[in-house]
């Protein structure tokens, strides 16, 4: 499957939820996510634009492999995903294969779906709690991403093709520059 998405920062969750309700968008999930990103000690996967993630959500484990596709306007990944029955065993198997956790994140997610469009409001927790809530819009149709962003009051320039690392680094820089002032 091809994953095409953007992130929109500096959102007002209540306003977005009101607009989504008016559009008839259905809430599909609200809860906590725990995600671990794996790589070899030499970071072979990251260096080649690949990501291996093990996530615990809603009582289930999901293993996802993503491969980056270059694009300036959208974050595009070829994505392969499988649901697993045992999170702990899956983590253990990955580690036995020589993979190590290089990053992990906990977040609160509220997810919505309308047809082929998936919208998620995420709030990072723990050591990344300084990152404000943000919106992710995902679809296999790039035009629908901009369409729904516009319906929620955002412009194409508000749509960032950013990864989790990009978002965290963006707010780290802001945090540091605010301390300097």
What element of type H or E holds 78?
Answer: strand 75-84
CATH code of the domain made up of 2-180: 2.40.320.10
Helix (H, G, I), strand (E, B) or coil at 14: helix
pLDDT at 70: 78
pTM of the model: 0.88
Tell me the per-residue pLDDT of 53-64, one tens digit each, with 9 for 90 and over. Answer: 999 988 889 999
- For the chain, the domains span 2-180
CA atoms within 13 A on the CB side of 30: 3
Residue 181 has pLDDT above 70, yes or no: no
Give the tokens for residue 4: 């095409």
pLDDT at 123: 98
Percentage of the chain beyond pLDDT 90 is 78
């Amino acid at each position: 499957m091809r994953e095409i998405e953007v992130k929109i920062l500096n959102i007002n969750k209540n306003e977005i939820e009101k607009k989504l309700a008016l559009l008839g968008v259905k809430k599909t999930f609200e809860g906590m996510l725990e995600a671990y990103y794996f790589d070899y000690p030499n970071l072979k996967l990251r260096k080649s634009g690949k990501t291996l993630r093990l996530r615990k959500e809603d009582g289930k484990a999901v293993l996802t492999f993503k491969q980056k596709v270059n694009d300036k306007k959208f974050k595009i990944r070829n994505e392969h995903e499988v649901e697993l029955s045992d999170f702990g065993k899956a983590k253990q198997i990955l580690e036995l294969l020589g993979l190590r956790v290089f990053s992990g994140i906990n977040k609160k997610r509220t997810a919505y779906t309308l047809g082929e469009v998936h919208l998620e409001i995420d709030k990072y927790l723990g050591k990344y709690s300084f990152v404000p809530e943000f919106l992710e819009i995902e679809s296999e149709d790039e035009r629908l991403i901009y369409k729904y962003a516009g319906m929620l009051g955002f412009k194409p320039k508000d749509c960032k093709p950013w990864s989790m690392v990009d978002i965290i680094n963006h707010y780290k820089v802001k945090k540091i520059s605010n301390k300097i002032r």
